[in-house]
Amino acid sequence: MSQKEYEELKQEALKLYDAAHIVLTEKEKEEMEITGFGLHQTRISGLIIVTYVNTEKCCAKEMVLLPGQTCPEHRHAPVAGTSYTGKEETFRCRYGEVYLYVEGEKTPNPKAVVPEGSEEWYTAWHEVILHPGEQYTIYPNTRHWFQGGKEGAVVSEFSTASHDEYDIFTDPRIDRLA
């Protein structure tokens, strides 16, 4: 992504963090991660993340989803030959509305809209809608994806150690670290 696009996305994210009354340090603002998952359509499939802490035992992040922006379907699986057992994470909505989809009974008439051309890569359809103050825990190796509502969303993530390099995405086109 271009520097101009990065700066525009960063400013939009900062406005949402402000709306959620999330105070960030200058260092956190500088280190903000904006990922488009290698799909080159960050406003559609992307995520904006500030990581507070990520140790071998725990992780805490603030994530922004712009209006309609989707974090693609993935899972945090155990990795053979390592001590990593997969990530357990709890999402707590701080602002807006987030549509979270996990494995389970398919929800009729879901609110989210899958990014055009990516429909085959979205298989988890049990819908959990989170409003400010509501939370949901996702256990290791559970397929899930999520999307910001019409105003966007700010979501706090509390989890076991985060190893993004091990995330397994359903869509083979995705490069998490791109």
Mean local confidence (pLDDT), 151-158? 98
**pTM > 0.85: yes or no:** yes
In this prediction, residue 1 has a pLDDT band, given cuts at 50, 70 and 90, of confident
| Alpha-carbon gap, residue 138 to 144, rounded angstroms | 8
Could you give the angle at the alpha carbon of 169 between the alpha carbons of 56 and 68, nearest 5°? 100
Mean local confidence (pLDDT), 159-174? 94
Question: Quick check: is 70 in a domain?
Answer: yes
In this prediction, residue 175 has a pLDDT band, given cuts at 50, 70 and 90, of confident
Question: Quick check: is 178 in a domain?
Answer: no
pLDDT (0 to 100) of residue 97: 98
CATH number at residue 118: 2.60.120.10
User: How many distinct structural domains can be found in the chain?
Assistant: 1
Question: Quick check: is 174 in a domain?
Answer: no
pLDDT (0 to 100) of residue 38: 92
Residues of 47-57 as b/e, b for ≥16 C-beta within 10 angstroms?
A: bbbbbeeeeee
Question: Quick check: is 132 in a domain?
Answer: yes
| Alpha-carbon gap, residue 80 to 102, rounded angstroms | 24
Question: Quick check: is 44 in a domain?
Answer: yes
| Alpha-carbon gap, residue 51 to 32, rounded angstroms | 8
Question: Quick check: is 154 in a domain?
Answer: yes
Which residue range is the domain that position 104 belongs to? 3-169
Question: Quick check: is 96 in a domain?
Answer: yes
Token digits of residue 51: 């990581």
pLDDT at 10 over 90: yes
pLDDT at 56 over 70: yes
| Alpha-carbon gap, residue 86 to 63, rounded angstroms | 20
Residues of 140-152 as b/e, b for ≥16 C-beta within 10 angstroms?
A: bebbbbbbbbeeb
Could you give the angle at the alpha carbon of 24 between the alpha carbons of 52 and 156, nearest 5°? 50
pLDDT (0 to 100) of residue 178: 59
| Reduced 3-state DSSP string for 13-38 | HHHHHHHCCCCCCHHHHHCCEEECCC
Question: Quick check: is 175 in a domain?
Answer: no
